Each structure stands twice: as C-alpha cells, then as structure tokens.
Structure 1
Amino acid sequence: MTIGTWAARLAEDWPAAEVEVRGGWRLGADGGVTRRANSALPVGPEPRIEAMEAFYRERGITPCVQVWSGDPGTDEALVARVDAALEARGYRAEQSTLLMTRPLGAAPAPPEGVDVLPGPDERWRAVADASGESPTRTQGALRILGRAPVVGYAVDADGAARGSVAVGGGRCGIFTMTTVPAERGRGRAGRIMDALLAWAHAKGAHEAYLVVEADNAAAVRAYGRAGFVKVGGYRYRVAPG
C-alpha cells in the first residue's frame, strides 16, 4: 500500500478506529466523527469505487474520498483518474484543506499560564462547550487522539483556549485549536500554539504541521504569522445524497 507522505502522517496522528485495505483503497472509519477519520485514499492500481462505497454504506457512513495534491509519494496520475471518475458519478468537491508546515529549529519559549497535560482536563473540555462544539464531536476527537502514540493537551489557566499536539518520528501535528468566542483575536491561540510547539520540541519534534480549511482566511493568516507555510493539501469528494 502506498499513499503520500503527508497523507500517511495525518492518518497516523489522527487514527481511525477501523482501517481496511479493500479494492484498491485504504479505508478508514470511526463512526462518522470527522471526515478525516471517515474517508478513503486510493492506493491503486485500479481502485474500485463500488468496493469503497460498499465499505462505507455497510457502516452507515456517506462515502467520502480524500483527493490530495502536492504530497510527496502520491501517484498524481492515479489521483487524477479517481477524481475524474468520482466527479462523473456525481461526487461533490468539498472542504478544500491546506496542509501547512514550519521547522522547529528553535522552539518558542513556553508561555506562562498555559498547561500542557497528558490528558484533557475539565478546563480543556469546557472550551469546547463554550465554543458550541457538540459533545459527540468532542468525545469523538478525544477518542481518535487517544489512539495516537504521544499526545499533549494544552489549555490556558482560565480555560479560554485549548489545543492538542501529536508527536512522532521527529514531527508533530497540531489539532483541535479552539478559543472561546469572547476571547478571539486577543492572542490566546498564539500562546496555545507556542506551548504545544515547545512541548513537542522537547519530545524530539523538529518540524510541525497542521491542516486548515482553505476558506478560513483568518486562521490561514494567523498560522502564517506563526511561521507556517502551505506545502500541499487535499479536498474531499463526497457521494451525492
């Protein structure tokens, strides 16, 4: 099975409960919580769309495929063929997502007033509640992160912002960045990011990455100011109906 470098890394750091290789696909499923954990990657040489669809419909999940670009190791010709075939079947292109990276030659100094914990505490969970995140999504994200080998959970002292980081193989992935609405635009997210990067650097990470929806202009700008640059990305093809 061959998938791109970043697609493989993301699958490792955001691991689905169930992974199966079937009919030329790598198939992930996790009860429908986050498309990232409930989508397919073509691994070729001739992925059978019917096999992918059967896998997801057996589980009550809408068939969904990650279509990557700019990912080293990806068979771009295969991806283009799959993308065209899905479009012909009425699959919608949705949720264009950027993958951004930055080096960690020197980690930020850990900011005061931010804790990085081995597990989420009540403050961490409360940020999700205050931001309107559904309990199902919060629990699903924690379930997924709980399968990654090394994870840190950052929260500021007064419970206004939170985030998480998964570390392995000299890299770290930033996830679940959230600030309560009343505190947005006040540098809270930057402090959480600095704390996560400092923690990951101490665990051996020399490069950081994150994914962000391309149309979230404010977040893309903020991550750019934090030193992240776009290196690739993906979008989803989602079955009609």
Structure 2
Amino acid sequence: MTIGTWAARLAEDWPADEVEVRDGWRLGADGGVTRRANSALPVGPEPRIEAMEGFYRERGITPCIQAWSGDPGADDALIARVDAELDARGYRAEQSTLLMTRRLDARPAPPEGVDVLPDPDERWHAVADSVGESPTRAQGVLRILGRAPVVGYAADADGVARGSVTVGGGRCGIFTMATAPAERGRGRAGRIMGALLAWAHAKGAREAYLVVEADNTAAVRAYERAGFTGAGGYRYRVAPD
C-alpha cells in the first residue's frame, strides 16, 4: 500500500471503525462522523473510482477522498491522476486542510489549572455543549479517539476550553481543540495546548502535529505562535449530489 507518512499517521491517530484496502484504495468509514474518518486514500496502482463510490453509497455516506500534497512518501503522480479523473466526474474540492508540525525536544512547562486525564470528564463535555457540538458528533469523536493507543484529554478548571492528544512512535497529534465562544482570545487555547504538549512529551513524544482548516486564519496564527509551521496538507474531493 502506497500512502504518505502524514496520511498514514493521521489515519492511525484518528482511526475509523471500518477500514478496507482494496481496488486501489484505503477505504475508511465510521458512520459519517467526521470526514477524516469517512474518506478514502488512493493507494494505487489503478484506483477504481466506481468501487470506492460503491463502498460509501452502500453505507449511506457521500463518497469523499483525501487528496494530499507535500506528504513524504506519497505517490504524487497517482494523486494528480486521480484528482484529474475526479474533476472530470464533477467532484467538488472542499475544506482545504493544513498540516502543521513542531519539534518537542524540551518539555514545555505545564500550565496551572489544566488537567490532562485518561478519560474526558464533565468539564471536557461541557465545552462540547458550549460550542454547539451535537451529541451524535461528540459521542462519535470519543469513539474514534478511544481506538487510538494512548490518548490524553485536557480541560481547564473553569470548563471553558478543552483538547486531546494521541501519542505513539515518538510523535503526538493534537485534536478536538475548542474554547467556549465568550472565552476566545484570552489565551485559553494556548494553556490547553501547553498542557497537552507537556503530557505528550512525558509519554515520549518529540514531535507534535495538528491539522486545521486553511481558511481558519485565527487558529492558524494561534498555532504559529505555539511554534507550529506548515508541512503539507490535503483537501477533500466530494462526489456531486
């Protein structure tokens, strides 16, 4: 299977319930909860688009592909060839996503007033409610994270900001960052990030990564202030209605 380094890591850290590798695709499905867990990656040599479409339509999910760029180890020629065929079929390009990384050689000082726990507590759930996350999505996200080997869940003392981190192979991935609307711009997210990175470093992580929508300029700037830089990314190719 030909798959890029970061695409493979993201698939490992955000694992779908159902995964099949066939017909030139890595196919992931998880009840439609998050595109990340319900999208396909071309693995070559001749991905059969009809087979991919059939897999998703059988499950009531709109066919969706992650098209990566700048990912070490990826077959860029294959991705470009699939992209061109998807253009011809009317697939939309949506949700350009930036992958950002930073080194984690030294352990950041963990901030006071933020706990990182092996399971989400009531404060973590309270943030989901405050940002309007539906119960179905909230439960689905926790189901997905629960399959990762090592996970920490961070929430601040006031229950207005939260995040999570997965750790493995010397790397950590930051996920589910959220802050209650009334508390944004007050450094809450930075404290959550610091706590997650400190916890991950203690678990052996020496590099951190995250993914963020490229047009979320406020979040991108915040992550840049936290030491992250762009290192490639992907966009989704979505089947026409």
Q: Distance in 1 between matches of 2:170 and 2:91?
A: 36
Which residue does the alignment assign to 1:113? 113
Query: What is the SS of the residue equivalent to 1:41?
Result: strand
After superposition, give the CA deviation of every residue in 1:112-135 in whole Å (9 maximum; x if it has no partner): 000000000111001010111111
User: Structure 2: which amino acid aligns with 1:156?
Assistant: D
Query: What is the SS of the residue equivalent to 1:51?
Result: helix
User: Structure 1: which amino acid aligns with 2:18?
Assistant: E
Which residue does the alignment assign to 2:127? 127
1:200 aligns with 2:184: no
Q: Distance in 1 between matches of 2:67 and 2:28?
A: 14
After superposition, give the CA deviation of every residue in 1:145-170 in whole Å (9 maximum; x if it has no partner): 00000000000011010000000000
How far off is 1:2 after superposition?
1.7
Q: Distance in 2 between matches of 1:105 and 1:170?
A: 11
1:177 aligns with 2:177: yes
TM score, norm. by length of structure 1: 0.99
1:162 aligns with 2:180: no
Which residue does the alignment assign to 1:87? 87
Q: Distance in 2 between matches of 1:99 and 1:174?
A: 11
Which residue does the alignment assign to 1:58? 58
Q: Distance in 2 between matches of 1:74 and 1:31?
A: 27
Which residue does the alignment assign to 2:39? 39
After superposition, give the CA deviation of every residue in 1:50-95 in whole Å (9 maximum; x if it has no partner): 0000000010000000000000000000000000001110000000
Which residue does the alignment assign to 2:68? 68
Q: Distance in 1 between matches of 2:43 and 2:207?
A: 26
Which residue does the alignment assign to 2:18? 18
How far off is 1:22 after superposition?
1.7
User: Structure 1: which amino acid aligns with 2:227?
Assistant: G
Segments of structure 2 that go 5 or more residues without pairing to the other structure are none
After superposition, give the CA deviation of every residue in 1:145-204 in whole Å (9 maximum; x if it has no partner): 000000000000110100000000000000000000010000000000000000000000
Q: Distance in 2 between matches of 1:216 and 1:210?
A: 13
Which residue does the alignment assign to 2:100? 100
Q: Distance in 1 between matches of 2:200 and 2:46?
A: 39
Segments of structure 1 that go 5 or more residues without pairing to the other structure are none
Q: Distance in 2 between matches of 1:45 and 1:65?
A: 16
Computed over aligned residues only, the root mean square deviation of the Cα atoms, in angstroms, reads: 0.4
Query: What is the SS of the residue equivalent to 1:189?
Result: helix
Query: What is the SS of the residue equivalent to 2:99?
Result: strand
After superposition, give the CA deviation of every residue in 1:207-229 in whole Å (9 maximum; x if it has no partner): 00000000000000000000000
Query: What is the SS of the residue equivalent to 2:72?
Result: coil
Query: What is the SS of the residue equivalent to 2:100?
Result: strand
Query: What is the SS of the residue equivalent to 2:139?
Result: helix
Q: Distance in 1 between matches of 2:161 and 2:116?
A: 12
How far off is 1:107 after superposition?
2.0
Query: What is the SS of the residue equivalent to 1:10?
Result: helix
Divergent runs of 4+, >4 A: none
Q: Distance in 2 between matches of 1:77 and 1:160?
A: 45
TM score, norm. by length of structure 2: 0.99
User: Structure 2: which amino acid aligns with 1:224?
Assistant: E
Query: What is the SS of the residue equivalent to 2:80?
Result: helix
Q: Distance in 2 between matches of 1:107 and 1:96?
A: 31
How many residue pairs align between the two structures? Answer: 241
Which residue does the alignment assign to 2:219? 219
